[in-house]
Each structure stands twice: as C-alpha cells, then as structure tokens.
Amino acid sequence: MIIDLLIPVILMLLVAISCGSLLGYAVKAFKTDENPLEDQINDLLPQTQCGQCGHPGCRPYAKAIAEGGPINRCPPGGEATISALAALLNVAFEPLDAEHGVEDIRRVAYIHEEECIGCTKCIQACPVDAILGAAKFMHTVIVQECTGCDLCIEPCPVDCIDMIPAKDELQRWNWQLPESLIITSDRRQQICQ
Amino acid sequence: MNQLIFPLKRGIHLPERKSISLQSPIIESKLPPQLFLPITQPHYEKAKVLVSVGDYVRQGQLLVKGNGLSGINIHSPSDGIISAIGPHPIANASQLPEITLTIDTLPSDKATFCQLDESLETLKSEHCFSPMDWRRATPAELIVRASECGLVGLGGAGFPTARKLQAALQDVHTLIINAAECEPYITADHALLLEHAEQVIRGIEILLEILPQAECLIGIEENKNEAIEVLHRALLNAENSRIALRIIPTLYPSGAEKQLIYILTGQEVRSGKLTIESGYLCHNVGTAFALQQAVESGKALTHRIVTVTGDAVSKPNNYRVAFGTPVEFLLNQAGVNLTKLSTLIHGGPLMGLEVTSHMVPVTSISNCFIAGTIEEFPPNPPARPCIRCSYCADVCPAGLLPQQLYWFSRSQEQDKARAHHLFDCIECGACAYVCPSHIPLVHYYRAAKADIRVADEKQQMANHSKERFEFHQQRLALEKQQEESRRAERARLASEHKKTSSDTRNDAQALIAAALARVKEKKEITNKQKNKDKD
Amino acid sequence: MLSSPHQHQGHSTTQLMQQVLLATVPGIVVLWYFFGWGILINLLWISSLGLLLEGLTQILRGRSMIDALSDYSALVTAVLLAVSIPSTAPWWLGLIGISAAILLGKQVYGGLGYNPFNPAMVGYVVLLISFPVQMTRWLSPLVPSPSFNDSILMFADIEPIVGYDAYTGATILDAYREHQGGQLFTEFLSQSPLHGTWASYGWEWVNLAFLLGGLYLFYKKIITWHISLPLLASLSFLALIFHDGGSSASLGSPLLHLFSGATMLGAFFIATDPVSASTTTRGKVIYGLLIGVLIFCIRVWGNYPDAVAFSVLLGNFCSPLIDNLTKSKVFGERNV
C-alpha cells in the first residue's frame, strides 16, 4: 500500500532532480558573457557614433535601450531604426524624439582645404578615422567612410568643416511608392493631408 | 524542326500591333543638326572624355574611352563640332539629366568640312578599324575588337558586350540568341533579320568562334514568319551545325532572358544567379549584327535600328538612326501629329518608359519609340483596392504571388517581400496588365526593391562604420597603453637617473664640504699665524 | 512619373462584380418561382440598405462615396445575403443581416479587399444564430407561393390571414438528419413529398440555376475551377461513402447533397469570393476540398439546417495559413 504511494513520489522526485540538474548544467555550459540583446540592438543602430542620443556612441545607447531606455532618440537612424527596434523589443513604435534632432538626408563632412591649417584636431575627433592628414598638412575627408556624425565640426579652430549633403547622383535615384494613386487607405490619406 | 520547346506555363497574350511598322524596308534616318551623346558608363569616375568643347570630330572618332572591358567606348556617329558638354535629358525613369556631349553636325558636303580643317582628313584613317579575318583571330582579339568598337547589348540592358564575353569564356555551354521580340509594337529585330539575316548569322558564328565549346540556339516567336524564313535560308547557306533555330510560341514575356532559356532548354537559371554562371550566354540579334559589323567591316557602334510607331505618326517604320538623334527629329521624319500625340514611350508598352522631353536622344537601348494617342494609351483609372483575385499570380512568368508582394510592398514589410522572392520579379508588367483593380503593381515592386537596396546599403554602411569605430577604439586603447608603458619606461629611467644624479650630488657636496673644510682649515691656520704674528 | 506597363487589358473590378450579379439572375428567377415575391422584395430592400450603409460608412471615413459604390461589391454582398434568407423574412431581419454583413463583415476591417471573412456569410450567420426561428421559415416549395399582397404583409411583419406558418417546415436535409436509422431509405423516399426528381423538390432547380450562373462565370474566366470543383468533389465523395447503398443508415446520395440547400450557391458564388478565399493555386484546391468536407460534416452531424455559411467561414479562417503553406516554388527554384 505504502509502496504504491511511494512509487509516483519517487518517480516525480527523480524527474525533478534530473530536470533540475539539466537546467543547472545548461546555465553553466551555455553561459554568455555579453548581453546578446545589447549586441542585437547595437546591430540595428546606424553606427554614426554621433552622440545625438545623449550617449557617447552607439554601443552605450544600445546598452541603455537594453536596460529599458527610450528607443526614439536616434535621428540618423530615423523611423526605420525605431520600427526595427520596436519589432526586436516587441514594444510600441514611438515617433522620433525631436529633442535629440530630426531625421535628415545623409550628410558628409567636407573640409575647405584652402582654409585648413593642419591642426589634426578633427582627426582626433573622428570616431571612424575618416579624416586623412598630418600635423601642418592639409586634411581631407574620406567620403566613403564618413558617417556624418559632425563631431569634427566643433573642434576645428578655423571652422573650415561643413556638413554637405551626400551626393545624390543619377544612380542613387529610386522609385517611390505611388502615393497619389491610393484611394484605399485612410492612413496614407492622413499623411498626405 | 521545331522539336524540344518548353513553353512558358504563365504569361499573357497581347494585341501585337507589329504589322503597322513593317510596311516598308528600314529607312535611313537623316542626320539631325545636333546629336546628344550621353556618356553612360558603368563607372563614371573611370571613364575619360577625350574631347573638349570646340573640338572638331570625325565620324567614328573615339570621344569617350571607357575603363577596360567593363567600360563603354563612345564614338562619334558623324562629323561635327563638340558644342557643349553638360547635362541633357535622357530616357530614364528618374528624369534626371545626364552628362551629354553635344555635337553640332556638319553638312555631309565634304568640301565644306575640308575647308574647316584640312589636317582632319589625315586623321580619318585613325578613326577606322581594319576588317578582321575572324576565322584566324583568337577569342581575346575578338573581344578586344568588341570593346574597341564600343559594343553594348542592344536588347535593352546596354551591358558592355566585351565584359559579358570575357565572363563567358570560362564555362558557357549554350549561346542563346534572342530574336523573340515579345513586346507589342516593336519590330526592330524583326526588320533587322529581314534585311541582314546573313550578317546576323555571321555575327553568331563570330560569337561561336569566341566560345569554341558552345552550341547556339536562336529563339524566335512564331508570329514572325518572314523573319523565320530568311533565317532558315541564311542558316542553310552558313552550314554551321552548331546553330539551331527554334520557333517558340507567341506569349509575353518569352523574350525575357531567363524565360527564353527555359523555353529553349527546359532549364531554369537558379534564382538570384546570373545566366552566365549557369552556363548560358544571351545576346540579342542586334548585338550579333553589331559584332559582325565591328569585326568584318571595322565599324564602331554608332547607329541602331529604331522602330518609330504608334497611331500619332503617319509613317510608322523602322529607321536606322545615329545615336544621339533627338526623338523629336525622328518623330518629325515619321510624320508625327503633335495634337494627337498623348503618350511618348521609349521601349515597349509593357516595359518601356514614358518620355516627357522630346529632346531625349536615341541611345543603344532605344529599340522603339511609340507615339501613342489617347485612345491607344488611355490614362489609368484610379486604383481600387486589391480583391486578391489572383489573376496576377496566374500570369506571373516568375511564378510569384504578385498580390502578396503588393501587400508587403505597400506596408513596407521588406523581410516578407524578400521572403516572397521580390527580387525574382522581372518587372515584365503582366500582373499590372491583367489587374482588374488597375493597381500599378510594378511601380510598387520597383519602390520596394529600391527601399530594400537602400536599407541593405545602409546596413552595410553601418556594419562598416561599426568595424571602423571598434578599430578606432582599439587603436586608441592601444595607443593609450603604449603611451602608458612608454611613460612607465620614462619614469623608470628618470628615477634611475635621479638616483645616480643624487649620488653624484652628494659627492659634489662632500667635495664642496671638504673644500670648505680645507678652506676653513687654511683660514684657521692663517688666522692663527696672523694672531701669532700680532702677538 | 508613372511606371510601366502602359497598357491594360481593360477589365475592371466593377465589370467583374457586374458579371457576378448577372450570373445570380437565373437563381433569383427560380427562387421567385418557388417561393414567391418575398424573395424579390427582400432583394430590393437588402440591396438598397447595403448601398446606403456602404455609402454612409464611406462618408464617415472621409472617402469618396462614389468610388466605393461604383465597384458594386456592396451590391454583390447584399444580393448573396438576400438569396440566402427565407422569403418569409420580415424587414428587420434583412436590416440586421445586411448591417452585420457590411459593417461587421466588411467595413470594420477597412472595406473591400481587407475583410478576412465573406461579408454575406457573416451577416447570414449572425441572423441564423440570433433568429433561428425566422431564419428557418422556408416555405415548402410544394405549396403555391404566397400572393404579392401576402408577401408584402409578411415583409411588414404582419401575419397574413392564410397563415403560411403551416406550410413552412423542414427541408429534405432536416428530414435526413432526423430520420437517421429509421425506415428503409426507399420507403422514406417514397413517403417524403419533399423529395424531387433527383434531389430535394424545388431546391434541385434552384441549385441547377445557380450552377448555370456558376458555369457562366467559369466561361467568362471570372472564376477558375480550383475552388468550386474540389468543393463539389469532396462533398460528393463523402456523400458517396456514407450513401451506404441507400440503406436505412444512408445520409443521402451525392446528387441529393449537390442539389440541396445552398450547395451550388456556395460553390460558385460564396466560396469563390476572392477576398476571403485562398489565393495560391494549390491553396485554392485545398480550400475547396476543406469546405466540401465541412459542408458534409455540419449538414449530417451538426445542428444547423444548412452548413455552407459555417463551412465557408471556417474555410476563411484557414485561408491565410493555407496560403502560407502552399506558396509555389518560384521560377529558378524548381528543377535545377
């Protein structure tokens, strides 16, 4: 009689112990050092390293988001980044926080070379080493590498750096969704208005 | 004869309207007062413009030197003076102007020309290529010739022929010659075959000379009876066992590259792969003709056959036109009625492009200009909601689900659009043609494709920036560390130095002290002596 | 700047809907012949209500009323609902039905093209669940149909002197469900006046007329065989299995099932509604088969007089999943 009662109890205990030890092992064996969520978020950010979000670079901002910070503070990423973040974190989409800047076309830094005095201050400021030059030699921006963070503007003692729109060439032209033709969606009509 | 055809499972039957431009033989177009040659290149930054404003140029003179095999050499179609180099409208979807060479053509009266500059006459020989004996030439020589003569695909893509041939040298086993010409109205290839079938076949033989291990299949739609006949005769004369003519059913879009390969061989080129990677090389009949002209006559590619048609012209026909001829000039030759003209289309009605400027020039990809009346091309009524009738899926030659792609494109769900093979869409327009709701489906796909490409580019840029930023951080950290260690090193050296220097200082002080002591001693002695003396 | 293509074959959604309306005409005529003026009165009433509601919602949503009304989709929904409810229906039944169809079945989702369920069937099911008595008051086709005046009275919800209630009653499908396991099939058949020449009396002609309309749509290439044929095939296949040689346990012959109730209307006009149906080629076949099976199951083992509405709605539930699972391989993925 007692045995009949004991058998299920023992069985349950065994199952519990084996599952528990399996979980315990898994925690140790598959332990991740870094926070993968932070990495995932960082991969979605545009990596301009501009600091407009109030954090010193994209990774710190990713860390802040991973810890529950607002997702709408990245002007270079714009709505696309916010919606990608919203999808990843399964939270509601929020419009870009205008306090941190507005979405703009891509711009790149341009050094007016005749004004440059070769102080290397902008070179030190550039987060992606996109400025070429040496002390007392003229500097120039490697356009392909420039993220448009405008961190080089401020350190320049002679104000010879401007942010100019990245060249909108023939090859960069793209088809846009046919807005005016849609009579079917309320949402789009509102946008048009 | 007509064995081994794998008809397309999906496609559309269209009103052909081809006979209207096939009434008479190809007409040689007059030379316009000005030619506009856009310097279209795969890589603009690597191309060199060899002339400047005010230069005299001769017919056949090289104006723009492309970069190697993947560049496009542009030659002057006529004698003339370069009057401008600058932006000019061309037939493109963006309607953005492109850098264009403007040539004021000179009267064909040679005497006038010679008076202008006698020395140019001597230059003339430089601007002609000598005819080649292609049966003795190596593939490399033939490819170089194609590149020198500025050959590009005349079927619509305008890809440099030499580049394509170079890539095909590796492992192409089948050469496909596209004579399908499946879009309505267009008869440029048809007319070319009627008059130059022999040359086209020789062009194909040259292609086969470059690709010694390849077999050739010519695909032509069955509605081109006369062209099929002349091709047959030309093939009999050529007696080349490696060329076979295949007559395929008339169904749009049989002339699309991958679709034509399927019809002729039953093989589907893998999604996302190039045809060349799968062992097929496709060329248009026009390109074969241009190659024959380049090799056997040494003529650079400066002219092409253009169908000028539509109900708004009174003399629809095929014209042999110099590149750069503005469409307005061409339309006037064809007797355009400007009051009836409502839609001017560059290309065919299904895949062509509406042209808004009448100064758009003829380029290598201009196979047809349709001057349509309002009855021919009535404006689309406003789009209604998609009712998912799936007529579009029934006609999609790529086997896609256009209605699903439409939803995803509209809601900008790029991942889903990609998963539904948006990039296998060939933009043939069959779906939009049958859509009862008149939704401009192709427009949506183009926009979605562009969005995805831009997003991909951005992502690549971001990844790249991230790498550089991380490298930058690493470098800074390393520099700091190096600086730190250097400072430590300096500090160590300094402290050692200090130690030694303090020792020496002690010595010096001792010496000074000793000296002082000695002085003192001396003083005392002398003092004592003085005192003694006083005493 | 407009993208290519610059040509169009010329057919429009409006024309499609007009053809569908045209194809319902034979069915409506036969319904009128057997069930009287009530059908036409309801048709007129529900159609005008349908257009009115559709127009009102467009105004509320700040859109062009003409655009929405001119696609005829509201009219199609109204007609399909009108031919599904009994000829004895009072005015308020139609009002509630079409309101549910247009508002709940269609406009709350965003209008034409966005509704996951067939709007007419949403309206029908709302009525059937809420007013089972009124919704099953089909007059027996055996009795002479009511006069025009009596039809008006019934529509106004006033009981006419004749008292047609006596003549309403079970359809042959109800009879089969209730009879199960009783008399021998042949006996039952000979006794039941409800049995017509080859299926249910009166309804066999209604179904034939809708079949005719369906074939017209097929001929006009407005619908394809991919939904209707599998639907009819699976229904008759199951009926054949359970026909049991006409024994006492028979659940009805395939002919009976094909030509009773709303089978043909469902197969050619309701299941084929493209908005709520499956859209892939293989998906359509599976969708059709599924609805056929559901119709048979609900008819013979369920509690409702007819099963087309429920089966179509259940099919609508499944169609997004079916679509997703039956994506065909695209060009370039098949045989290389």
How many of the other CB atoms lie within 10 Å of CB of B315?
Answer: 15
Per the CB < 8 Å rule, is B271 touching C13? no
B341-346 vs B243-248, strand pairing mode? unpaired
Nearest chain C residue to A181 by CA distance is C2
pLDDT at C171 > cutoff 80: no
The position carrying tokens 């009524």 is B381
**pLDDT on residue B527:** 73
Per-range mean pLDDT, top range of A27-41, B81-95, C92-106 = C92-106
Residue B76 Cα distances to B61, B112, B132, B161, B321, angstroms: 5, 19, 21, 19, 13
Handedness of CA C181, C183, C184, C189 (dihedral sign): negative
Residues of B with Cβ-Cβ distance to C334 under 8 angstroms: 268, 399
Where does the pLDDT of residue C196 fall: very low under 50, low under 70, confident under 90, or very high at 90 and above? low
Q: Write out pLDDT tens, residues C219-273.
A: 998 999 999 999 999 999 998 888 776 666 677 788 888 888 889 999 999 999 9
B528 touches chain C (CB under 8 A): no
What is residue A38's DSSP assignment?
H
**Structure tokens that stand for C249 in this block:** 């346990």
> Cα-flanking dihedrals φ and ψ of residue A107, to 5°?
-120, 155
* Among chain A residues, CA nearest to C110: A185
B347 vs C contacts (CB less than 8 Å): 4
Q: What is the pLDDT of residue A185?
A: 45
Q: What is the pLDDT of residue C193?
A: 63
Kindly determine whether residue A178 and residue C67, on different chains, have CB atoms separated by under 8 Å.
no
Does residue A190 register a pLDDT over 70? no
Distance to chain B for A114, nearest Cα, Å: 24
Query: Of C2, C64, C110, which has the smallest distance from its Cβ to A183's Cβ?
Result: C64
Residues A87, A94 contacting (CB under 8 angstroms): no
Q: What would the DSSP string read from start to end of B318-360?
A: EEEEETT-BHHHHHHHTTB-TTTEEEEEES-TTT-EE---TTP
Q: Of A46, A174, A178, which is closest to B462 when you measure between CB atoms?
A: A46
Under DSSP, is residue C200 helix (H, G, I), strand (E, B) or coil? Answer: strand
Kindly tell me the burial class for residue B495, based on how many C-beta atoms sit within 10 Å of its own C-beta (0-12, 13-18, 19 or more): exposed
> How far apart, in whole angstroms, are the C-alpha atoms of residue B444 and residue B440?
7
Residue B341: strand pairing partners: B373
pLDDT tens by residue, A96-110: 888 888 777 778 888
Residue A20 Cα distances to A10, A27, B449, C174, angstroms? 15, 11, 50, 59
- Residue of B167, B365, B199, B195 whose CA lies nearest to B295: B199
Cα atoms in the 13 Å half-sphere on the side-chain side of B70: 6
- Show the tokens assigned to B255: 């002339």
AA letter at A92:
A
**CA-to-CA distance for B345 and B402, rounded, in angstroms?**
25
**Strand duo A131-132 + A140-141: pairing:** antiparallel
Determine the pLDDT at residue C19. 94
Q: Which residues of chain C make contact with A183, given a CB cutoff of 8 A?
A: 63-64, 67
Closest chain B residue to A49, measured at CA? B469
Question: Residue written as tokens 């790149």?
Answer: A108
The overall pTM is greater than 0.90 = no
Q: Mean pLDDT of successive 10-residue segments in chain B (535 residues)?
A: 76 90 90 91 81 87 87 89 90 84 76 48 59 86 90 86 88 91 92 93 92 91 91 88 91 91 90 87 93 89 93 93 93 91 91 89 92 89 87 91 90 87 92 92 91 86 86 88 91 84 72 78 74 63
Q: What is the DSSP string of C288-330?
A: HHHHHHHHHHHHHHSSSS--HHHHHHHHHHHHHHHHHHTPPPP
- Which has more confidence, B74 or C194? B74
- Residues 42-61, chain A: which have Cβ within 8 Å of B? 42-43, 45-49, 57-58
- pLDDT for A17 equals 96
Q: Which amino acid is at B220?
A: I
Nearest by Cα to B99 from B32, B41, B34, B56? B41
> Model confidence over A156-187: pLDDT tens digits?
888 888 888 876 555 567 777 776 444 444 44
CA distances from C93 to B345, C36, C113, C156, C304 (A): 56, 18, 26, 11, 18
Q: Does C5 sit behind a cis peptide bond, omega within 30 degrees of 0 on the bond before it?
A: yes
Cα angle for residues C37, C42, C44 (degrees, 5° grid)? 100
Angstrom CA distances, B249 to B177, B182, B215, B260, C308, stand at 16, 10, 22, 11, 43
